[in-house]
Structure 1
Amino acid sequence: MSEKLTIGFLPLVDACLPILARELGFAEAEGLDLTLTRDVTWATVLDRLLYGHTDAAHLLAPLAIATTLGRGRPARPIAAPFVLGLNGNAVTFRTDLADAVWPRPGLSEPAQLGAALAEVALERCAQGRPLRFGVVHRHSSHNYMLRYWLSACGIRPDKDVEIVTIAPPFSADSLANGEIDASCVGEPWNSVAVERGAGRIVLATAQIWRRGVEKVLAMREPRLADRQPAIEGLIRAMRQAGRWFVDPANRQQAAAILARAEYLDGSADIIGRAISDQLVLTVGAQPMTYPDFMFQYDEAANFPWISQASWLYTQLARWEGLAFDPVQAERAAAVFRPDVYRRALAGTGDLLPGASSKVEGSLARPLAVGAQQGQITLSANGFFDGHIFDPDQAEGYLQQQLQA
């Protein structure tokens, strides 16, 4: 008899792995019967998870940490034993702003775009009508990466520009209506804005941090303890789905599944472009390829590196004006559960890193790393400004950022 699991999700391409695990039979092969529940906002996805309406969720990695730490609501411990993907987001400007700061074709160079944007932002702020950026949630990698980029380019978030929350399915509407000047959101919603002529994609978040953590499979800690064999089966099923997903021969079928009304309810063509790392930057243009725009499987991409959770904690503290707290930092790091991931995949032959933490942003070229299982070569993972994050020096890193 199959064991039932209910998973909440938002209509985004990076919800693909649980969807495909269900549709392609990988979950069934693990003895699981998956039910997928679609929502419109991250707040609702989280509420369903916390109140027990779902067993697990496709969730923003920083939101899992913020919930554990009690930011914005009473603390509830969340566990994230699986990363659903790295990056896959972009920054889309309203067409008039894009033309003003990056009139050239193609994706921008982050530092050059930031310098040009700073001039416009400061002028607009002085006029009393600051630029307004939309992000999907206060506790999102979209928010943190956008702020990281802006501040490194001399633009002070919340002072020189405004940052507001817009649910992903409404980001294109907000750009078209002039409610925001730019958005940072996941696919397919950047491409939807482009198709409608509401904006132009100018930057991929992978240009800000090449291997930035994005969504996770999240669950309440008590539910993980109660359902751990089933969760481990789900991890194996999603790894199988990931291997299938990244095979170019399967892109058309994957896009067609994700485009269904019960999932993304969108254009299979747009979804297919995101899957194949292709973006149409402006209406009517030809697709351009940005390698690893969306990173779902290779290099143990689904492994929950503790160092990535630690970086997210430093950004939460930085942008909420919190002093570094070693106890809170430890709790934040413990949200990511490589121990569960390892147990699920031990003996399968799948890739397992030898370590559970690493120096983020330190690789400029591919590097073979120690592995518990298989052979792993990690690719370039840098931040656009050349900085690195050593999780053993997290407090000093936060202090440096606050003083920048």
Structure 2
Amino acid sequence: MSSLSRRKFLLTAGATAVGTAILHGCTSGGNAPQTPASPSTNASPAAGGEAPEVTKAKLGFIALTDAAPLIVAKEKGLFAKYGMTEVEVLKQASWPVTRDNLELGSGGGGIDGAHILTPMPYLMSLGTITKTKKPLPMYILARLNTQGQGISVANVYKELKVALDSKPLKEAFAKAKAGGKELKVAMTFPGGTHDLWMRYWLAAGGIVPGKDVSVIPVPPPQMVANMKVGNMESFCVGEPWNAQLVNQKLGYSALITGQLWKNHPEKAFGMRKDWVDQNPKAAQALLKAVLEAQQWCDDPANKEEMVKIISDRQYLKVPPKDILGRLQGKVDFGDGRTIDDPDLAMKFWRDNASYPYKSHDLWFLTEDIRWGYLPASTDTKKIIDEVNREDLWKQAAQAIGVPVEQIPTSSSRGVETFFDGVKFDPENPKAYLDSLKIKTIKA
């Protein structure tokens, strides 16, 4: 990790994507929680002529708890179980580095797929964030998790008791700005999930992102160090970095994102389209391993072992105590508040966490339109149908014996409701956009 200057952020680069109308389906509460199954490691990968075309693949990850399914699939032998005996799971320094290495592909010294922010495969497929500005077709094969992120605030604002309501920061920011202070809040990649959580939260409290406060990108592992030297007022990032901030008494968490939007989608398992199309059996092998790893990760009996695996030096390189608590739903916000609610914790498999609902991709693209990352004219249906491969997810799920009642029958989870009462109906994203007072939409 490069060293930090007290006055200078180590920033990331980024951009945008798109989405559209989708089949109406079951609501977020319409599916009973599934019981994760422990993966078996003695199946024959070649059974039924399913031997993969290749045995190697390079997959990237960022040092975040929600990268666990890829790490566990590697460490527990699940990739090898399906014949992918030479899979490398490689740490990436930032989301822009992930993007750059996906552009290169393994043939060019990069990677074939990754643990990735859900909007990024869309932004890459549209060519809005690639270095060449040319489309790099990508697929989303699975959602890796739901929930489990956080928005944290500097200790200087602790007396304001900022939580789900960001309004108390509006006046504080105005006073600080009037006094000549440059105000910044951080996220991990422009147009990515953390950017959208941060912007939604600020706007819900009447704070205009980009006007009342600058929104800047910082790599996840550098969030805490930047907060320590006073470079930001707040940040949104995945775990374990919010927990580490609290454990080091450098700030506090205003909220965890399950409170912002219950069971919200987060990271995805994305791969280059050309790799999947050229190696369909290998892609299925990878996907089966990832789905089994998600089941394993969601079993409470495996949490401590999972934390031991991912906290290792080659992966997250943080103390296990910074990971385990919030993974179990035990949250010390750092301001006197605590909760113990496993239903608000990161989910890898329960409640259809792994299924890549197209309606969720549509929300991300609609928000990217809201904030001017994508033009309002974007054909969201077209790009979602090209990128989202829920069909491959279903194929893999059936192959590993997922019960039929745990396989969604609709591309939509239905109407979603946010903490402030705002609703997103995937049948009418324009109505959602029109209802939002704070936005930056470009024609």
Q: TM-score range by the shorter chain?
A: 0.7 to 0.9
The answer to whether structure 1 residue 214 and structure 2 residue 249 are counterparts is: no
Pair 1:323–1:50, CA change in 2 (3 A): closer
TM-score (norm. length: structure 2)? 0.80
RMSD: 2.1
- Which residue among 156, 169, 173 is the counterpart of 1:96? 156
Structure 2 alignment gaps of length 5 or more: 1-50
Deviations 1:290-335 (A, max 9, x none): 4322121112211110011111111111112654225245314542
AA aligned to 1:70 is G
1:137 alignment counterpart: 189
2:291 is aligned with 1:239: yes
Which of 140, 144, 148 is residue 84 of structure 1 equivalent to? 144
Among 424, 428, 431, the residue aligned to 1:389: 424
How big is each residue's C-alpha offset from its partner over 1:214-267, in whole Å with a ceiling of 9 and x where there is no partner? 111111111111122122222221222122212222121111111111111111
Partner residue, 2:172: 120
SS of 1:79's partner is strand
Question: The residue matched to 2:353 in structure 1 has which SS?
Answer: coil
Cα deviation digits, residues 32-88 of structure 1 (max 9, x gap)? 122111011111111111111212111111122211222233221211011111121
Residue in structure 2 matched with residue 50 of structure 1 by the alignment: 103
Bigger RCO of structures 1 and 2 (CA < 8 A, at least 6 apart): 2
Q: Is the 8 A contact 2:152 2:251 kept in 1?
A: yes
1:168 corresponding residue in structure 2: 220
Is residue 2:79 matched to residue 1:27? yes
Alignment of 1:225-304 (within 5 A): 225-282=277-334, 288-290=339-341, 291-304=343-356
CA–CA distance in structure 1, aligned partners of residues 160 and 345 of structure 2: 25
Closer, same or farther in 2 for the Cα pair 1:326/1:391, shift >3 Å?
farther
Q: Cα deviation per residue 1:262-300 (whole Å; 9 max; x = unaligned)?
A: 1111111222223212223229x7964243221211122
- 1:307, 1:333 within 8 Å by CA — same for their partners in 2? no
Task: Verify the 8 A CA contact 2:187 2:235 in the aligned structure 1.
Answer: yes
What does 1:149-160 align with in structure 2 at a 5 Å threshold? 149-160=201-212
Higher mean alpha-carbon deviation, 136-145 vs 244-253, is at 244-253
Question: What does the per-residue CA deviation read over 1:160-186, in whole Å, with 9 as the maximum and x for residues that have no partner?
Answer: 111111110110011000000111111
1:35 partner amino acid: E
70-79 or 120-129: bigger deviation = 120-129
Distance 1:175 1:198 in 2: 7
Is the 1:359–1:388 Cα contact (8 Å) retained in structure 2?
no
Residue 318 to residue 329, structure 1, CA distance change in 2 (3 Å): farther
Aligned match of 2:433: 398
CA distance in 2, matches of 1:188, 1:10: 12
Taking the aligned partners of 1:322 and 1:250, their CA distance within structure 2 comes to 41
Per-residue CA deviation, residues 351-403 of structure 1 (Å, 9 max, x unaligned), is 21011123241xxxxxxxxxxxxxxxxxxxx3112222222212332233266
- 2:208 corresponds to which letter in structure 1? R
Q: Give 1:145 shift.
A: 1.3
2:411 paired with 1:356: yes
How many Å separate the matches in 1 of 2:195 and 2:251?
Answer: 19
Indicate the larger mover: 221-230 or 5-14.
221-230
Q: 1:93 & 1:360 partners in 2: Cα distance? A: 30
What is the DSSP-based 3-state SS (H/G/I as helix, E as strand, rest coil) of the residue aligned with 2:424? coil
Kindly provide the amino acid, as one letter, of the partner of residue 141 in structure 2. P
**Alpha-carbon distance in structure 2 between the residues aligned to 1:89 and 1:333:** 27
Q: TM-score, normalised by structure 1?
A: 0.87
Q: Where does residue 379 of structure 2 map in the other structure?
A: 327
Could you tell me whether the CA contact under 8 Å between 1:318 and 1:402 is conserved in 2?
A: no
Alignment partner of 1:346: what SS?
A: helix
Aligned to 2:230: 178
Question: C-alpha separation between the residues in 1 aligned to 2:125 and 2:84?
Answer: 27
Indicate the SS of the match to 1:14.
helix
The 1:9–1:322 alpha-carbon spacing in structure 2 relative to 1, beyond 3 Å, is closer
CA separation in 2, counterparts of 1:77 and 1:387? 33
CA separation of 1:54/1:72 partners in 2, compared to 1, >3 Å: closer, same or farther? closer
Identity fraction in percent: 27
| SS in structure 2 at match of 1:37 | strand
> Match of 1:393, as an amino acid?
N
| Contact 1:306-1:336 within 8 A present in 2 as well | yes
Of stretches 27-36 and 318-327 in structure 1, the one that deviates more from structure 2 is 318-327
Range 386-395 or range 160-169, more displaced: 386-395
Q: 1 CA distance for matches of 2:166 and 2:385?
A: 31
- 8 Å CA contact 1:135–1:185 kept in 2: the answer is yes
SS in 2 for 1:59: strand
What is residue 338 of structure 1 aligned with on the other side? 390
**5+ residue gaps, structure 1:** 103-107, 362-381
User: How many angstroms apart in 2 are the aligned matches of 1:395 and 1:116?
Assistant: 30
Sort the Cα spacing of 1:343 and 1:150 in 2 relative to 1 into closer, same or farther, 3 A.
same
- SS of equivalent to 1:147: helix
